[in-house]
Structure 1
Amino acid sequence: MPCSTMDAVTLVSKCTIFPSQKTSLSDLKLSVSDLPMLSTHYIQKGALFTRPHFSVIFSVRFPTSLIKRSLSQTLTHFPPLAGRLITDSDGYVYISCNDAGADFTHATATHIFVRDVIGSIDVPDHVKELFAFDRTVSYQGHFKPLLAVQVTELADGVFISCSVNHAVIDGTSLWNFFNSFAEVTRGVKRITRLPDFSRDSVLISPVVLKIPDGGPKVTFSLDSPLRERIFCFSRESILRLKDKTNNNPKWNMEGEIDIAELMGKQSNDPLKISDSKLTPLTENLTSEISSFQSLCALLWRAVTRARKFHASKMTTFRMAVNCRHRLQPKLLPLYFGNAIQSIPTYASAGDVLSHDLLWCAEQLNKNVKAHGNAMVRKYVEDWESDPRCFPLGNFDGAMLTMGSSPRFPMYDNDFGWGRPIVVRSGRANKFDGKISAFPGRKGGGSVDLEVVLAPETMDGLESDPEFAQFVAGN
């Protein structure tokens, strides 16, 4: 018997899941990358699956007991996610690895079909009901679990979501946990990518972040009207965009590949056979501008046009970068926690629109290239001189903030009945100009962009000719 009903989802049961073994891990001090996230919402990411044939694989009923047991076993390898935040008498914030447990929710939404999640032009509101801890601020991890898993049975599918405290992990750590959770559920005896809990880098600071009474609040409006769309870019269109950005002449004026020119290059640029397709090995050549930077430049120009600024208006394109490999000595790839910094690139609307894609991409490329060990350490020093929570939002109406990454292994999640159909996010940290990059659900190097904009700006983006020619289906 259901115990409560939300707009789109019926709650079946809710409980606390504890690690299968007691942890011996000491408390983990929050770093200068963790602490600014105390004012942001919990990260909300989830994956949509086709409904497994329960009568064959398990039983007639959904195997919630298996999912719970697997979560318990996975938490043994990720004990911070079963802990709570604590602040000591000196003001330092830690993750107390105290085995207090994570939330688990089993819900149903039998009136929602797979097509209702992926078939709409805009991301439908009912997708937001498939996540726990809606708009929960990370500071509340002092009083609430740091992780909540929700499993929602749909009419013909299953949605598995994780809501995780953003002061505890970034996207790299989140997807490592999600992948490990799936591995354990499908019966892998030993997870393949154990997290690293070291706390001995420059990111661990003696500086105290002063918290206002009542805890920090998010720095953006929760009530502004927004539209959210997923724009899909095939591998072919991304390669075409990259070549156009780099002024590579192998694409003709109609945007189609110039076969004669391509064939003339075969002796220098060998092709590889992959999935019965000929794929130019352009990613390994010496081109300065990457596919992703080309995509960011395309979006920067199109959104700037749609916002209809005066030429003198200063615009900002902000990109989150992983610092694990940028620091010297390097952090391990599976360092657990936040190891990200946000790089802003500034240009007037006039410059963004009067120059070509290459110019815009070069501005982004220059800043990303410059963000090495010295710059990471400078960001740390700057924060230490003015410790504060991260001001997330679009404060002057002219900002774009790119998060997540198409390199994250979002589709490497097989719980025992196949890979995800699609990945979606919740309502967390959404504001005008927030963009998230996902690997494309069609695979093969495709990319999906989750774009959140004011309604009138989204209308302009949808009708932008330069942008539309690279979107899948256009």
Structure 2
Amino acid sequence: MGTRMMGKVRVERGEAELVGPAERTEGGRYWLSNLDQNVAVVVRTVYCYGGGAAAAGAAVKRGLAAALVWYYPAAGRVGEWGEEGKLAVECTGEGAVFVEARADQHLRAVGDVSAGGDPAALLPLVYDLPAAPGSPLLAAQVTHFRCGGFTVGLSMNHCMFDGIAAMEFLNCWSLAARGLPVSPPFLDRSLLAARSPPLLLHPHPEFSELPDLSAGAATLPLLYRTFSFSSEHLMKLKRMVAAEGGCGDGKLTAGCTSFEALSALVWQARVAALCLNPAQQTKLLFAVDVRRRVVPPLPPRYFGNAIVLTYAMSTAGELVSGSLSQAVTMIQTAISRVNDSFVRSAIDFFELTRAKPSLVGTLLVTAWSKLAFHVADFGWGPPQQVGPAALPEKEVVLFLPHGRERNKVNVLLGLPASAMAAFEGHLEPYMNT
């Protein structure tokens, strides 16, 4: 049921260079919102293409220079500024890192990237960037394979982009690489500024640290597996949830989504597999896009992070003994609370506390399954497969798109070996069609 890892890809890199905007751009300091402050981590992804490697490097580089005219803050350098020590970007125009490389193998050696792949095979395809102040915010590596295929490996500082903004940037980049017109982004992040004075109208347990009653439950070496849910699996899962009907003091919302059902299943199965103390409070965190939830809605092509974390909470005992529909209802409640008032309160909460989410007793779902990775067409068609270049932390599960129609979801996570076997057993009834 699970996908296993493959071997290492040997890569010889050329000299790294800086690619700046193709035209003169604005300078000065670029303000980052509170929703950007907590995510200054580097996200590494790999895009695989079947042919055209000889000219791919020049096209990707040309498109990057053109895209940075519109997205010029991404050519700057991030740092801490002012007495508050908040992050901001100096728009120096120094540029993004670009490097070409060659691999002595066939592209198939990288394995199933959409299933999470093998870091030993994928990390050599990405030019690593530190998240330290003063570092570039973006790096691109084009790796040519012996078969004529190529990969584009990206390192992107999350403080610049959430998933949707990153896809819009990639679309601009790839259109520019093909010489096509682009739509400019909306750069002003002050629409998500904190209020003065800050106003907390909601509790924010998404940031709170839970007492650890299950120390050592997930400290053993991790075994990573990917579980692939077809559209038939997802329909079966949603039918089973719907058949359970109402629960608790509320009713299951009609038409539960694949994300809600799959998140509930993975949360319940993981807690059961880890054999947590029944009294252990456990928390599910996931990001919600707020572009259409704030008032007024954010403009199209908003450049920045427009996501907030929301939460569902339960004791381990209640979660495991309860029905899957109960877990779905908690997730639906978590989504429904994300309105303009909650978003503004979360922004103000960070303004007052500088808090970072605690992951004790927590599962963080990172859903990439609906992102438009296929827009990254640099002239040789959309990528054949896309995936992360690194495995998630032990508290994180990734939902990844899978299949040419992108109608399947790969679930990638790490657990101790004994817990992984129990987790797989919990999923099995939902994956037999």
User: TM over 0.5: same fold?
Assistant: yes
Q: How does 1:272-311 map to 2 (within 5 A)?
A: 287-311=254-278
Q: Secondary structure, in 3 states, of the residue corresponding to 1:169?
A: coil
For normalisation by structure 2, the TM-score amounts to 0.83
User: Equivalents in 1 of 2:283, 2:379: separation in Å?
Assistant: 43
Q: How does 1:415-434 map to 2 (within 5 A)?
A: 415-427=378-390, 430-434=392-396
Pick closer, same or farther for the CA change 1:120–1:43 going to 2, 3 Å. Answer: closer
User: Do 2:164 and 2:371's aligned partners in 1 also have CA atoms closer than 8 Å?
Assistant: yes
Give the aligned partner of residue 241 of structure 2: 245
Question: Where does the alignment leave 5 or more consecutive residues of structure 1 unmatched?
Answer: 1-5, 55-60, 209-222, 250-285
Give the aligned partner of residue 286 of structure 2: 319
Give the aligned partner of residue 73 of structure 2: 80
Asked if residue 133 in structure 1 is aligned to residue 128 in structure 2, the reply is yes
1:7-49 deviations in Å (ceiling 9; x for gaps): 73211231111110111365321111111223xx211122111
Give the aligned partner of residue 182 of structure 1: 174
Give the aligned partner of residue 154 of structure 1: 145
User: Do 1:32 and 1:205's aligned partners in 2 also have CA atoms closer than 8 Å?
Assistant: no
Q: Secondary structure, in 3 states, of the residue corresponding to 1:359?
A: helix
1:145-194 deviations in Å (ceiling 9; x for gaps): 11001111234332112211122221111111122222222332x12x43
Q: How does 1:44-63 map to 2 (within 5 A)?
A: 44-52=44-52, 61-63=54-56
Pick closer, same or farther for the CA change 1:356–1:115 going to 2, 3 Å. Answer: farther
1:84-106 deviations in Å (ceiling 9; x for gaps): 12444444532222211000121
Q: How does 1:55-454 map to 2 (within 5 A)?
A: 61-91=54-84, 92-111=86-105, 113-114=107-108, 116-118=110-112, 123-125=117-119, 126-133=121-128, 136-137=130-131, 140=132, 142-156=133-147, 157-188=149-180, 190-191=181-182, 193-204=183-194, 225-247=221-243, 287-388=254-355, 390-391=356-357, 394-395=359-360, 398-427=361-390, 430-443=392-405, 445-454=407-416
User: Equivalents in 2 of 1:31, 1:120: separation in Å?
Assistant: 31
Q: How far has the Cα of 1:356 moved from its partner?
A: 1.4
Question: Where does the alignment leave 5 or more consecutive residues of structure 2 unmatched?
Answer: 1-7, 199-218, 246-252
Give the aligned partner of residue 43 of structure 2: 43
Aligned residues: percent identity? 24
1:252-307 deviations in Å (ceiling 9; x for gaps): xxxxxxxxxxxxxxxxxxxxxxxxxxxxxxxxxx7252221001011112111211
Pick closer, same or farther for the CA change 1:107–1:462 going to 2, 3 Å. Answer: farther
For normalisation by structure 1, the TM-score amounts to 0.76
User: Do 1:123 and 1:228's aligned partners in 2 also have CA atoms closer than 8 Å?
Assistant: no
User: Equivalents in 2 of 1:441, 1:97: separation in Å?
Assistant: 39
Pick closer, same or farther for the CA change 1:292–1:158 going to 2, 3 Å. Answer: same
Q: Secondary structure, in 3 states, of the residue corresponding to 1:127?
A: helix
The residue type paired with residue 350 of structure 2 is W
Q: How far has the Cα of 1:110 moved from its partner?
A: 2.1
Q: How far has the Cα of 1:320 moved from its partner?
A: 1.1
Give the aligned partner of residue 248 of structure 2: none
The residue type paired with residue 187 of structure 2 is F
User: Equivalents in 2 of 1:106, 1:453: separation in Å?
Assistant: 35
Q: Secondary structure, in 3 states, of the residue corresponding to 1:311?
A: coil
User: Do 2:114 and 2:385's aligned partners in 1 also have CA atoms closer than 8 Å?
Assistant: no
The residue type paired with residue 183 of structure 1 is L
Pick closer, same or farther for the CA change 1:124–1:327 going to 2, 3 Å. Answer: same
Pick closer, same or farther for the CA change 1:121–1:371 going to 2, 3 Å. Answer: closer
Give the aligned partner of residue 275 of structure 1: none
Pick closer, same or farther for the CA change 1:106–1:199 going to 2, 3 Å. Answer: same
Pick closer, same or farther for the CA change 1:328–1:449 going to 2, 3 Å. Answer: same
Q: How far has the Cα of 1:461 moved from its partner?
A: 2.2
User: Do 2:20 and 2:93's aligned partners in 1 also have CA atoms closer than 8 Å?
Assistant: yes
